[in-house]
């Protein structure tokens, strides 16, 4: 039986579709986050730049791209960035498979730690990441804010 979707490495030619997925997946947070998510403003050009800075994986089925996650190599870890799945494709294990792809890439590149950031206000996300083995690493504060606005979570592989 064929898989319902596949995960593959993103290519520059995917940039326009990835920017659409980011905007669509993050639309539910419009007006709920302070500062607003930069995902709302992701253009094809910005996505291409992020692909050069690290890379990404995408989820697709029958030519339809509906999920993505970026990764960026850092000194002592691989940074998992912008995990996004369109609402129409949630609840099928897509996020988990995208996350596993990043964790595999970390291992392949010799990194034994993966970090990510999650907004403090998105408590359901904290719980989901904890179930995947991510634990508190530090707080972070967006520019222009005096109190922390996000958590940095880490998983030791």
All structural domains of the chain with their residue ranges: 6-156
Q: What is the pLDDT of residue 1?
A: 45
What's 36's DSSP letter?
A: P
Q: What is the pLDDT of residue 122?
A: 95
- Return the ∠ at Cα 132 (arms to 77 and 153), rounded to 5°: 45
Task: Write the burial class of residue 85 (CB in 10 Å: 0-12 exposed, 13-18 middle, 19+ buried).
Answer: buried
- Which of helix, strand or coil describes residue 91? coil
Q: What is the pLDDT of residue 2?
A: 57
pLDDT, tens digit (0-9, with 9 covering 90-100), for 49-59: 999 999 999 99
- Return the ∠ at Cα 32 (arms to 118 and 39), rounded to 5°: 60
**CATH number at 6-156:** 3.40.630.30
pTM over 0.85: yes
Q: What is the pLDDT of residue 4?
A: 86
> Could you say which residues of the chain have pLDDT below 70?
1-2
Question: For residues 16, 17, 20 and 21, what is the CA-based torsion angle, rounded to 10 degrees?
Answer: -140
């Amino acid at each position: 039986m064929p898989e319902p979707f596949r995960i593959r490495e993103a290519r520059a030619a995917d940039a326009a579709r990835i920017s659409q997925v980011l905007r669509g997946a993050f639309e539910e947070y419009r007006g709920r986050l302070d500062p607003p998510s930069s995902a709302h403003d992701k253009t094809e050009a910005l996505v291409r730049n992020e692909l050069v800075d690290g890379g990404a994986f995408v989820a697709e089925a029958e030519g339809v791209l509906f999920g993505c996650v970026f990764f960026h190599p850092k000194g002592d870890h691989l940074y998992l960035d912008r995990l996004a799945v369109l609402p129409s494709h949630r609840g099928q294990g897509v996020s988990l498979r995208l996350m596993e792809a990043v964790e595999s890439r970390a291992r392949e590149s010799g990194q034994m730690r993966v970090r990510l950031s999650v907004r403090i206000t998105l408590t359901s996300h904290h719980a989901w990441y904890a179930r995947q083995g991510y634990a508190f690493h530090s707080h972070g504060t967006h520019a222009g804010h005096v109190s922390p606005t996000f958590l940095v979570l880490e998983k030791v592989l």
